[in-house]
């Protein structure tokens, strides 16, 4: 196993200015694994769902070469459920409902064949569960990437700080970076957060792109300007999936290669938002991905002769 993905596999109800869907398939691990599958053919999920989760989605994951031996299906249980409503500008949303359901008592078991994964992607989930997965690995992965959100910052700050101290890369959005650090300036926020443990920090800024920091450098990647954004749900997870999927494919964790990985992550996120839920990710081809990367290259290429 090359890439292990941990995170929610869930039902979401989503309300955007363009429409509404009830109980569509979502979840951090779902988006991450689907986006990573553009790049890596050797990944597996550790998560939990209830008996209510559709078999069709499980087949779709398997068709994308995503191993689901570590996905527990709890008899009679209900899957994690999240509901959110986006503001007019789509950059902000309110969480209306978070029902942990089977996640409340989730005890992750990392299957034997996943324990030596080189890359570990800790998607959004209870911080203690994320720690338990790190502790079950037979050796430390080459790279551990963590994604989290304000929900855990507010409900379990100490557990979350411990998880953050155990990882190499943290990805969060701009408002979460400000909340976690207590700093408004993103540069100051990054400096503060890098002292909490991770060597690298990615701050996602929705349609305004993403910033990659280490202790000495900053890299900025734009987001592709899209004519139609239907549903931003899962954009952050798709970003993380594209990012770690590309690193897994190239096996290079230098800062320079992380810059490329940020572009691939941004490309995966740009597809995700074009339809509700996971629908767009299921239909994108490798050629679509190549074309979108070319758009990124054209978007940021310019020539300046300094006198
Ligand atoms: P994103 O839009 O990338 O932040 O991720 C949205 C996904 O995160 C949705 O599919 C939800 O099911 C999932 N989600 C929402 N709240 C949580 C939470 N507190 N913990 C884990 N996953 C969550």
pLDDT digits 0-9 by tens, 240-264: 999 999 999 999 999 999 999 999 9
CA of 182 from ligand 1 middle (Å) equals 23
Give, using CA atoms, the residue closest to atom 14 of ligand 1.
Answer: 27
- Tell me, yes or no, whether 277 lies in a domain: yes
Residues above pLDDT 90, as percent of the chain? 94
Residue 89 pLDDT level (bands cut at 50, 70, 90): confident
- Tell me, yes or no, whether 8 lies in a domain: yes
Q: In CATH, what number is assigned to the domain containing residue 229?
A: 3.40.1190.20
Q: Specify the pTM.
A: 0.96
Number of domains in the chain: 1
pLDDT in tens, 101-130: 999 999 999 999 999 999 999 999 999 999
- Tell me, yes or no, whether 305 lies in a domain: no
- Tell me, yes or no, whether 268 lies in a domain: yes
Is 200 a residue whose pLDDT tops 90? yes
Q: What φ, ψ does residue 176 adopt, rounded to 5°? A: -70, -35
- Tell me, yes or no, whether 134 lies in a domain: yes
- Tell me, yes or no, whether 232 lies in a domain: yes
The domain in which residue 253 lies consists of 3-300
Mutate to test the pocket of ligand 1, among 5, 21, 82 (most ligand atoms within 8 A of CB): 82
Give, using CA atoms, the residue closest to atom 15 of ligand 1.
Answer: 82
Predicted pLDDT at 292 = 96
Q: For ligand 1, which residues put their CB under 6 angstroms from it?
A: 8, 10, 12, 26-28, 82, 98, 124-125, 149, 151, 233-237
CA of 33 from ligand 1 middle (Å) equals 14
């Amino acid at each position: 196993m090359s890439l292990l993905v941990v995170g929610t596999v869930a039902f979401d109800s989503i309300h955007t200015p363009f429409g509404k869907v009830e109980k569509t398939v979502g979840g951090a691990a779902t988006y991450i694994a689907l986006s990573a599958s553009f790049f890596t053919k050797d990944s597996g999920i550790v998560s939990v769902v209830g008996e209510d989760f559709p078999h069709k989605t499980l087949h779709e994951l398997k068709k994308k070469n995503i191993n689901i031996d570590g996905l527990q299906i709890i008899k009679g249980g209900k899957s994690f459920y999240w509901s959110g409503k986006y503001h007019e500008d789509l950059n902000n949303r309110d969480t209306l409902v978070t029902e942990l359901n089977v996640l409340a008592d989730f005890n992750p078991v990392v299957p034997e064949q996943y324990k030596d994964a080189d890359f570990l992607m800790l998607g959004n989930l209870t911080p203690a569960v994320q720690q338990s997965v790190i502790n079950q690995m037979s050796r430390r992965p080459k790279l551990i990437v963590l994604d989290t959100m304000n929900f855990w910052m507010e409900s379990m700050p100490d557990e979350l700080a411990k998880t953050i101290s155990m990882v190499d890369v943290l990805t969060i959005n701009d408002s979460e970076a400000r909340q976690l650090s207590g700093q408004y300036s993103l540069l100051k926020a990054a400096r503060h957060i890098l002292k909490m443990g991770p060597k690298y920090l990615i701050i996602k800024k929705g349609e305004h792109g993403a910033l990659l920091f280490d202790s000495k450098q900053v890299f900025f990647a734009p987001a592709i300007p899209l004519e139609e954004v239907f549903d931003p749900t899962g954009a952050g997870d798709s970003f993380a999936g594209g990012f770690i999927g590309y690193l897994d494919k190239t096996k290079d964790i230098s800062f320079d290669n992380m810059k490329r990985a940020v572009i691939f992550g941004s490309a995966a996120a740009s597809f995700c938002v074009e339809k509700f839920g996971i629908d767009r990710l299921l239909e994108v081809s490798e050629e679509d991905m190549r074309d979108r990367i070319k758009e990124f290259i054209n978007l940021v290429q310019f020539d300046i002769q300094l006198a």
